[in-house]
Amino acid sequence: MKRTGTLLLTLLTLTLFMLAPAMAQEEIDETRDVAKDASIFIGNPVGEVIVIGWDRSEVRIEGELGEGTRRLDVEGDEHRLVVEVVIPRRKRYVEDTDLEIHVPRGARVEIDVVSADVRVEGLTNDLVINSVSGDVEIDCRLEMLDVDSVSGDLDLRGETGRCSIETVSGDLELLSDSIKQLEVDSVSGDLELNLVRVDRLMLDTVSGEISFEGSILKRASLESHSGGIELFFDGEPSAGFEISTYNGEIDNSFGPRPHRVDRWEPELELSFESGGGDADIRVETFSGDVVLDTK
């Protein structure tokens, strides 16, 4: 009797083991009606998240749930929808879940991932992305963009009203026609910005290199410890400059040369006005070199 019980238990366990992956690897294809400006939260720890804006008042979720995940939650109403991959508590390793989600163009979207890569295109409202190590690609014309990342690389294209980016070691490549306000913090990640126009620009790095190409219309504050800062303008800029470096070099192609602040210290300072002096540009480094030039 005891033997039979053990055998049954073993068979049951084996069956569950065989069934579990099949359940976990299920295909996803769900559609929900939502408002054109609905708030949509998407959470997927590992794998890939692709979000595409479209003209329908619908959210369509396609993909495949990775092995080891528990389920996909799709909850909420037409104004707020949560799409979240749920993994079992204390589970360290799960297979990738790949999601492709179509949302209304005007939706406000927030995406939370750990190592999943994120690609977003065609949105026009607010976008918030929190990522640890996944790469992020965005091609949108947004009202507001907020990205918080640790080590993933960021590739941003399009136009944005307000844009705030924090990265630790991930590099940022940004190509945009117009941004009203851009704030970027980076520890060691390099920032490569190609902006036709930006009204307000605030960039802080520790060792990350900053390369900026474009026009600054109102105000810019760029600060770095050891990372170099290169500004390449579209022609002679209309701006007042306050540049200083404690232990780096300043190379200015269209204005006066820097002078030493104190004969006993290496600190260099350069203040001058160019064009009509419309914008205010402040650049400060500890040991990073500063280059001002035209494209």
**For binding to other proteins (CB under 8 A), which residues are involved?**
39, 92, 108, 110, 114, 126, 128, 132-133, 143-144, 146, 150-151, 162, 164, 166, 168-169, 181, 183, 185, 187-188, 200, 202, 204, 206-207, 223, 225-226, 244, 246-247, 265, 267, 284, 286-287
**Through-space distance between the first and last CA atoms of the chain, rounded to whole angstroms:** 86
Q: How far is the CB of 7 from other proteins (least distance, A)?
A: 37
Question: What's the token pair of residue 141?
Answer: 């014309």
Which one, 64 or 267, has the nearer CB to other proteins?
A: 267
Give the burial class of 95: count Cβ atoms within 10 A of its Cβ; 0-12 exposed, 13-18 middle, 19 or more buried: middle
The answer to whether the beta carbons of residues 170 and 185 sit under 8 Å apart is no
d(CA 291, CA 220): 15
CA dihedral sign of residues 5, 6, 11, 17 = positive
Report the residue count for the chain: 295
Q: How far is the CB of 275 from other proteins (least distance, A)?
A: 26
Which one, 146 or 280, has the nearer CB to other proteins?
A: 146
SS3 category, 2:
helix
Which one, 175 or 202, has the nearer CB to other proteins?
A: 202
Q: How far is the CB of 147 from other proteins (least distance, A)?
A: 10
CA angle 66, 70, 72 (to 5 degrees): 75
Segment (H or E) for 264: none
CA dihedral sign of residues 143, 236, 206, 136 = positive
The answer to whether the beta carbons of residues 162 and 145 sit under 8 Å apart is yes
Q: How far is the CB of 70 from other proteins (least distance, A)?
A: 16
The answer to whether the beta carbons of residues 206 and 239 sit under 8 Å apart is no
Which one, 28 or 43, has the nearer CB to other proteins?
A: 43
Q: What single-letter DSSP state applies at residue 257? A: P
Which one, 205 or 213, has the nearer CB to other proteins?
A: 205
Which one, 119 or 162, has the nearer CB to other proteins?
A: 162
Q: What are phi and psi of 52, to 5 degrees?
A: -125, 130
Which one, 176 or 245, has the nearer CB to other proteins?
A: 245
Q: How far is the CB of 40 from other proteins (least distance, A)?
A: 11
Q: How far is the CB of 288 from other proteins (least distance, A)?
A: 10
Q: How far is the CB of 43 from other proteins (least distance, A)?
A: 12
